[in-house]
Amino acid sequence: MFRLALRTLPLFAVIASIAVALGAYMNFSGVRNAYLELIQSRLGIIAEDIEKDILSAVNLGIPITEQVTLSGVLNRLAATDKSIVGIEVIGPDGATLFASDRPTGVTPPKTYDLRRSILNDFGASIGSVVVRYDSNVMARQIDQFADQVAKAAIPAGLCAMLLGGLAALFIIGRLHRRARDIAEGHGRDAIGEAERALAGLEERVAGDA
């Protein structure tokens, strides 16, 4: 029994740990995707507000290149979130027309950029808005999610391995006792019963004949 247990219990432990690890990964993946969607939605709202301001001025006959008040609008919206590195309005030729102020003496970090095209009433692109978000902030937040999931998954995994091992040991013990009872003759003689059933079947077949 102990040899069988030593061979079987590690398998149950591996299966339990894999199940817990898969559940933890699915949980982390769901939280991570929800967080990224939240960031995208927030940046999309900012870009949409800028687009509306630009199109309102265009409808009044002010070309996008002459909307000098945009710099103040970009600075105001960029200040709503300290993780926003900058906001730019790009012309149709790809040149930067307006941009929010950046802190002097600070190296721009790696950014996650959300771009939104600015379309006039005829569906033609007159430029685009680019909102740049600090990727390091996103990476740190995702790492925190991973740490939280790992801290919860490790105890759960150990508990699952322990319970799975105990369940396997219980099943193996019952099987071992059953096999021992049969070997000692305390259980039903399966072979004898099969022989008697076969003899009875032969007698019935002979009687029918």
pLDDT digits (tens, 9 = 90+) for 177-198: 666 666 665 545 555 655 666 6
User: What percent of the chain clears pLDDT 70, i.e. is strictly above it?
Assistant: 69
Establish if 179 belongs to a structural domain: yes
Domain count, the chain: 2
Same domain as 170, residue 105: no
- Domain around 172: 150-208
- 28 bridge partner residues: none
**Which value, to the nearest 10 degrees, does the dihedral of the CA atoms of residues 116, 121, 126, 129 take?**
-20
* Region 4-32 average pLDDT: 75
Q: Which residue has the higher pLDDT, 205 or 16?
A: 16
pLDDT recorded at residue 39: 92
Apex 171 CA angle, 166 and 177, nearest 5? 125
- Please say if the pLDDT value at position 81 is more than 50: yes
* Region 98-126 average pLDDT: 81
Tell me the HSE value of 185 on the side-chain side, using a 13 A CA sphere. 0
Q: Which of 76-80, 99-103, 161-165 has the highest mean pLDDT?
A: 76-80
Say which CATH number the domain at 100 has.
3.30.450.20
Give the domain-ending residue among 110, 145, 180.
145
- 112 bridge partner residues: 133
Give the domain-ending residue among 145, 169, 199.
145
Measured in whole angstroms, how far is the alpha carbon of residue 79 from the centre of its chain?
30
pLDDT recorded at residue 152: 78
Same domain as 155, residue 139: no
Residue 115's closest CA among 134, 133, 102? 133
SS3 209: coil
Same domain as 104, residue 139: yes
Q: 88 phi and psi, to 5 degrees?
A: -130, 150
Same domain as 43, residue 133: yes
Establish if 90 belongs to a structural domain: yes
Eight-class DSSP state of 187 = S
pLDDT recorded at residue 187: 47
Supply the pTM of this predicted model: 0.66
Per residue, the 3-state secondary structure of 2-36, as one string, reads: HHHHHHHHHHHHHHHHHHHHHHHHHHHHHHHHHHH
pLDDT recorded at residue 3: 59
Sign of the torsion formed by the C-alpha atoms of 37, 38, 43 and 48: positive
Give the domain-ending residue among 124, 145, 166.
145
Q: Which of 14-28, 97-111, 185-199 has the highest mean pLDDT?
A: 14-28
Mean pLDDT in the chain? 79
Establish if 10 belongs to a structural domain: no
